[in-house]
Amino acid sequence: MTPKPNTETPELIEVEKPQFESLYHLVLLDDDQHTYDYVIEMLASIFGYGPAKAWALARVVDAQGQAILQTASKERCQDNQQRIHSYGADSRIPTSLGSMSAIIEKAFMPGDAG
């Protein structure tokens, strides 16, 4: 006996796309109230960045007006933003009244709706 060919339409299985946690950028903003030494010390203290990386980021923020310090979860960026905002004034500049500023921006990944 010959087997009958399968003429049924195969069932379509809906595959759920994996859900990835959204990522955010923590962006340091430039100002004239903080020295390179302050920025380098702050980045070392908060992020553990070495002198070369901290210097490079200080140059970027000075030249471009901002620099991305990290890309991470929103909560982690918020924690480090708070640490930046509470780091204090630059004692090397008498007119420095407080900490530097940082903002959080959504990091758009390939495939994100824009």
Q: Where are the domains of the chain?
A: 31-106
**pLDDT over threshold 90, residue 3:** no
Q: Report residue 60's pLDDT band, with 50, 70 and 90 as the boundaries.
A: very high
In this prediction, residues 48-77 reach a mean pLDDT of 97
CATH of 31-106, one of 3.30.70, 3.40.50, 3.30.1390, 1.10.4160: 3.30.1390
Q: For residue range 4-37, what is the model confidence (pLDDT) as tens digits?
A: 666 666 676 676 766 677 999 999 999 999 999 9
* Tokens at 34, concatenated: 């903080």
Q: For residue range 38-49, what is the model confidence (pLDDT) as tens digits?
A: 999 999 999 999
Name which of 76, 83, 75, 88 is nearest 102 in CA terms: 83
Cα distance between residue 97 and residue 85, in whole Å: 12
Sheet containing 24-29: order of strands: 66-72, 24-29, 101-106
Contact status, residue 83 vs residue 46, Cβ threshold 8 Å: yes
Distance of CA 94 to the CA centre of its chain: 31
Chain position carrying tokens 């929103």: 74
Q: Report residue 61's pLDDT band, with 50, 70 and 90 as the boundaries.
A: very high
